[in-house]
Structure 1
Amino acid sequence: MNTSSFNPGAAGSAKNQSSKNKLVVPGAQNAIDQMKYEIASEFGVNLGPDATSRQNGSVGGEITRRLVKLAQSNLGSTTNR
């Protein structure tokens, strides 16, 4: 049982937290972490154990939105060739 006080996918570093989530693209963790901290900065969220679930969730949700947008953009550009 994970007793961490915050969501490792949203706020903690995957290097320091155990997670069932496996990256499909090796080496993508650094890009995801960079995106996470950029979004947190944009939202004025200080990531860490004192961040609320709502704050962590807003960052995680925005990461998901941006990744989906990137994927849709890439799919659109590959199908229009």
Structure 2
Amino acid sequence: MTRSRVLVPEAKAGLNKFKMEAAKEVGVNLKEGYNGDLTSRENGSVGGQMVKKVVEAYEKNL
């Protein structure tokens, strides 16, 4: 089983905040801790929103 891990431990809080903001933007009720009750589609939409925001920020800074 592979697990996601934060390469820079100091960034963990910032990543969690970013994830919660992305979930709110797409209307997913993400909570701190266990979220196993969410569907794959809901989880995927959060991840997709995070990638979208990262790409937008990168393009803005070109």
TM-score of the superposed pair, with normalisation by structure 2: 0.70
> Would you say 1:45 and 2:32 are equivalent positions?
no
Q: List gaps (5 residues or longer) in structure 1.
A: 3-17, 77-81
Give the structure 1 partner of residue 58 of structure 2.
71
Give the structure 2 partner of residue 8 of structure 1.
none
Alpha-carbon shift at residue 55 of structure 1 (Å): 0.3
Give the structure 2 partner of residue 7 of structure 1.
none
Q: Percent identity at matched positions?
A: 42
Alpha-carbon shift at residue 68 of structure 1 (Å): 1.0
Looking at secondary structure, tell me which structure has more helix per residue: 2
Alpha-carbon shift at residue 22 of structure 1 (Å): 5.0
Picking from 29, 35, 39, the partner of 2:12 is: 29
Structure 2 counterpart of 1:29, one-letter code: K
* Structure number, greater radius of gyration: 1
Question: How many residues end up aligned between the 2 structures?
Answer: 57
Structure 2 counterpart of 1:64, one-letter code: V
Alpha-carbon shift at residue 43 of structure 1 (Å): 2.2
Q: List gaps (5 residues or longer) in structure 2.
A: none
Backbone CA RMSD of aligned residues: 1.9
